[in-house]
Amino acid sequence: MARDQFQTLTEPMYFTLLALGKVRNGAEITSWVGEITGGRIKLPPGTLYALLAQFLENDLIKRVEMEKKGKYYILTNEGRNLLAEEVQRLRLLLANYDNSFGR
């Protein structure tokens, strides 16, 4: 896997992966990300489907067959690990900030 390209996740990448902790389709991902970010992060279809293709290619997510119409996705173990690594990276950034300003 080309893990280097995912060393630092953009916010759209992060929230798309986070959304896929549960089985969702593209419209559900977009809606959920908009909700959880208070509308700050918008995922236009071109951006979302480019991310999904990239994540599928790198085995971070997989397609799930559903009885409903449409394409549904969920995180793989590899995707969960990558997301956990990103959360650790962000926690370290916050700790460095707090330590630098005596908080």
Q: What is the pLDDT of residues 54-81, one digit of tens each?
A: 999 999 999 998 788 889 999 999 999 9
Q: What is the pLDDT of residues 12-43, one digit of tens each?
A: 999 999 999 999 999 999 999 999 999 999 99
* HSE, side-chain direction, 13 A CA sphere, residue 58: 19
| pLDDT band, residue 4 (cuts 50/70/90) | low
8 A C-beta contact, residue 41 and residue 12: yes
User: 99 is written with which tokens?
Assistant: 């330590």
pTM of the model: 0.88
Q: Which tokens go with 78?
A: 């590899």
Domains of the chain, CATH where assigned: 3-86 (1.10.10.10)
